[in-house]
Amino acid sequence: MMKPAAFEYVRPETLAEAVTALDHDDARIIAGGQSLLPMMNFRLVQPERLVDINRITELERIERTKTGLRIGALTRHANAARDPLLAEHFPIVAEAMGHVAHVAIRNRGTVAGSLCHADPSAEWPLLVTLLDGEIEILGSDGHRSAEPSEFFLAPLVTDIEEQELVTGVHLPLPAGPSGMAFEEVAQRAGDFAVVAAGAMVRVENDTFAEVRLGLGGVFDTSVRARALEGALTGQRARAEELEAALPLAIEDLEPNDDLHASADYRLSLVPVLARRALIRALHRATQ
């Protein structure tokens, strides 16, 4: 079995210490280590310094803000799945976390780790894209925020600079009562998604006040089905209206062929998963 190359290990206890530790030619953050350590073991990456942020306890919090919820960078997938605030306002999180890998990985893997790894099939990038989240970033120049479209640049590539770290994610509350649902197809339980779909539906006066559909596994990053969302907004809140708009879900999508699925198969899955997610979200929104 391969082992990582030698590295310096630093374990800061404050955010200020973490930023200072990142002032190095080749430093990497380690949180849960579920993606980084396997890559190091296979010598795919060989950082000279590891900055372990697990002692920075303020990064573990999930808390209310004036406009939404803030999820700390060190929040474990398993903790997010059972958090009462997220269950109340964003129940789709727990639904999606059930698809994340296996129990051991859910217990160690973190929100920020998933976002920074930026796999286009992963659940957290899709959730943050669907829910209009903002990714909070800290570096030597201070704090900044990035929208998902700014943060996710390409598969496994983000807008994080070498001396920056993600500190959390802010999810704004929906404008009113809404229904949410998550669907995913993978080759085996726990594998990365072949295709994933998340939906949010808000109904007012028997019409679609807001419809969101996020998709993973079908582009270089998670994406929103903007054409479908725009076509449904203002229409009667009926399942048949959703059905009629489903062809728009694949507009402008360019999935890749890979070992897991062909591009054509991925495109064929999109309307199926979109329909399931949207119908369930509509049902929940009208209860």
| CATH class of domain segment(s) 8-51 | alpha beta
Q: Express each pLDDT in 246-277 by its tens digit.
A: 999 999 998 989 888 999 999 999 999 999 99
Domain-by-domain residue ranges, the chain? 8-51, 59-172, 179-285
Topology of the domain covering 179-285: Enolase-like; domain 1 (3.30.390)
Q: How far, in Å, CA of 152 to CA of 166, rounded?
A: 13
Q: Which of 32, 35, 110 is nearest to 75 (CA)?
A: 110
Residues with Cβ within 8 Å of residue 262, at least 6 apart in sequence: none
Q: How far, in Å, CA of 91 to CA of 182, rounded?
A: 10
pLDDT for res 190: 85
Q: pLDDT-derived band of residue 212, with 50, 70 and 90 as boundaries? A: very high
If you write DSSP's letter for every residue of 27-66 in order, what string do you get?
EEEESS-TTHHHHHHTTS---SEEEE-TT-GGGG-EEE-S
- What would the CATH number be for the domain defined by 59-172? 3.30.465.10
Q: Express each pLDDT in 71-95 by its tens digit.
A: 999 999 999 999 999 999 999 999 9
Helix (H) or strand (E) holding 241: helix 239-245
Q: pLDDT-derived band of residue 1, with 50, 70 and 90 as boundaries? A: low
CA distances from 101 to 23, 78, 170, 267 (A): 33, 11, 24, 23
Q: pLDDT-derived band of residue 287, with 50, 70 and 90 as boundaries? A: confident
pLDDT for res 240: 97
Contact predicate 199/213, CB 8 Å: yes
pLDDT for res 141: 94
The overall average pLDDT reported for the chain is: 96
Q: pLDDT-derived band of residue 189, with 50, 70 and 90 as boundaries? A: confident
Domains 8-51 and 59-172 share a fold: no
